[in-house]
Chains A and B, each alone.
Chain A
Amino acid sequence: EAQVTQNPRYLITVTGKKLTVTCSQNMNHEYMSWYRQDPGLGLRQIYYSMNVEVTDKGDVPEGYKVSRKEKRNFPLILESPSPNQTSLYFCASSLSNRVVEQFFGPGTRLTVL
């Protein structure tokens, strides 16, 4: 089944404790992206990747890191999480950046205390 998977689905952590949210897609998509969703603000793009070893900042990259060492994986790293990073996070992928249909993962709800 073609899908985007994320882990963990739910995470409660404390300020300053490094964490990684994994994202994997099995559709051989070139383009992958991370979003955060907050009430009243919709989806805001954190980072995106055009292909392996090519990443760039979205609208709200502060406090986040990403890497794209393999085509299928695009982990989101929070080196020192803070309470303002409490949010719902979605990973998404598409065939390329010129394909407007993005496939989203199930989401990761992160709470930083």
Chain B
Amino acid sequence: GQSLEQPSEVTAVEGAIVQINCTYQTSGFYGLSWYQQHDGGAPTFLSYNALDGLEETGRFSSFLSRSDSYGYLLLQELQMKDSASYFCAVPQYNNNDMRFGAGTRLTVKP
């Protein structure tokens, strides 16, 4: 079957670094996306990895290893506003649909 697994909750303190992992099992894999969703808000796009390696965008980085069917989102210099849910997702071009993980709720404490 097709699935994405990510931890349900992660807690960290302000200023720290946190890594949110995502393992996937899909057919027709093309890349891994990450979305952020604050409570009461809509998901917003953070990053996409089509190739192996690390992509950096400011305090956020995303990593992909296709051979391991694994990726992660790295958040550095955590701020209180980073408290949100984070979803990994895979676009499936064969079927033209998008599959999301169940989400990781990140809580940043002072």
Contact = CB atoms under 8 A, between A and B. Distances in A.
Contacts of A97: 91, 93, 96
A76 interface: no
A4 B82 CA distance: 24
Contact of B42 (A40, A42, A98, A107): A107
A90 B96 contact: no
Contacts of A104: 42-44
A102 B102 CA distance: 17
Given A33-B98, A42-B102, A106 B42 contact: yes
Nearest to B85: A42
A41 B42 contact: no
A100 B31 CA distance: 9
A50 interface: yes
Contacts of B98: 33, 45, 48, 102
B71 interface: no
Interface in A60-113: 90, 92, 97-98, 100-107
A98 to B, nearest CB: 6
Contacts of B99: 45, 59
A98 B30 CA distance: 10
A101 B48 contact: yes
B96 A56 contact: yes
Contact of A48 (B8, B41, B48, B97): B97
B96 A40 contact: no
Q: Which of B48, B98, B100, B102 has the most CB of A within 10 A?
A: B98
Contacts of B96: 31, 48, 50, 56, 97
Interface of A: 31, 33, 35, 40-45, 48, 50, 56, 58-59, 90, 92, 97-98, 100-107
Interface of B: 8, 31, 33, 41-45, 48, 87, 89, 91, 93, 96-103
